Structure 1
């Protein structure tokens, strides 16, 4: 990630030139609304539905979606995190928000603190090589997750009904019961974590998750970097090596296998399937 607060280069601009122009013009409109000037490199999101750029000491991010697909819970996640999480959780602070509708498309925009230190992985959430991080960084991550866990919320990021519908298909086992939950980031991966000093990015999806889910995700995204994956298991054995932590990790693996079945992270798919098989002792087909 060469520019901060976004996964620079992860996704391409929209395929249609008209959509690129539409997003750029709406991004400029948001900049005028916030009285800032965006000058940094463009950072496009999934299928060109988001566009972020640096604007001086701020990061300006624009989202677009048809009105009938407005996702209030997702779009309010950053603001909700900003007000609910303790200051000890290192994250970009939100400065302002706005939203408007043009031609049946809704445009939420956020202006947040620009974070100078780069993310640990540019180009996507999957760690492509081992990272050498100081002991203090791992301690800071553990402290941040522990502080997040203390926050009460009715935001539910992982639901039992998803497990009930999908475990047999993706893991080949009966659905587990989620008996222990915690408040978590819910999208913990290497493009959302900065180098020291630690900052945790992208709080859109935060909420209640199974214990072990966040760490299970991070571990899964590290499987192609064995030394780092092993470090995660050592640092957080007190979570991952419990019955509740195993359940949370299985949920994370099943969700990633669903993503892999749709063509996401193809190189990681066999490693995730192998890890799932280690936990379930049941053959798991590679997507």
Structure 2
């Protein structure tokens, strides 16, 4: 999904990836690996499975992102379309903690190699039906988006107020690089938890603003969510997230201007 990181990170992660394969008794081809943002994760095929390695400094390991996939395996219903987490192997070395996660390998590719769309993908009608059905919820105490954050960044970056928030459970990172097609599967469950109603649908829509035909298709397919007044805060939150991160995150930089145009066109949001 992302370019290889700096050499020192690349060498450390490749060594850890080899150790993960050894610890799980796997073999993985060296030319079929996928880097996460700034080298935090490294993934690739391993036999008939998919191996994902995540790393954090020892002092930051644990918590919401670290435990998300394991808790998702226990809590989410089978109706949520996702690759099954089969095994987990963890260790610490030289100030870094590592967790290797072995998943069922899905055959469908991700819809986009970048979280933000820059052109319109060709997806079957069944995919759009399935995406609507996937936005299910389960009770959880995990937080995907904190209320304090919402009440701070939405006025700061959008100029809109935040009233009462209707909370639900969300994937939390429901963008186009975490969705497979033409057979739908939802990847990367490390950040799931409570968020404003409609947060996943709003993420999918906002991250498609540079591909207008697909953005319109998202609004059509998820109208029962996005047209609900309760989803206003979710959409504002996603817009605020983009504008806040645009200067430090390359793939969001080009999305900032479409987001500003979108906000200007939605003055009816003002309350």
Q: Greater CA deviation, 225-234 or 178-187?
A: 178-187
Aligned with residue 127 of structure 2, among 137, 147, 167: 137
Q: 1:114 & 1:77 partners in 2: Cα distance?
A: 19
1:222 lines up with 2:212 in the alignment: no
Per the normalisation by structure 1, the TM-score is 0.88
Give CA-to-partner distance per residue, 1:155-199, whole Å, 9 cap, x none. 11011100122122211233x135211111111111111112111
Aligned residues: 268
Give CA-to-partner distance per residue, 1:80-115, whole Å, 9 cap, x none. 111111111110100111211111111111111111
In structure 2, the residue matched to 1:165 is: 152
Q: 2:37 & 2:249 partners in 1: Cα distance?
A: 14
Structure 2 unaligned residues grouped into runs of 5+: none
In structure 2, the residue matched to 1:120 is: 111
Q: 1:195 & 1:282 partners in 2: Cα distance?
A: 33
1:271 lines up with 2:261 in the alignment: no
Describe the shift of the 1:268–1:212 C-alpha distance in structure 2 as closer, same or farther (beyond 3 A): same
Aligned with residue 188 of structure 2, among 184, 202, 216: 202
Per the normalisation by structure 2, the TM-score is 0.93
Structure 1 unaligned residues grouped into runs of 5+: 1-9
Partner-residue secondary structure (3-state), 1:51:
strand
1:32 lines up with 2:19 in the alignment: no
Give the 5 Å matches for 1:1-287. Answer: 10-16=1-7, 18-39=8-29, 41-122=32-113, 124-145=114-135, 148-149=136-137, 151-174=138-161, 176-264=162-250, 265-280=252-267
Tell whether the 8 Å contact from 1:178 to 1:210 is kept in structure 2 after alignment.
no
Q: 1:203 & 1:113 partners in 2: Cα distance?
A: 14
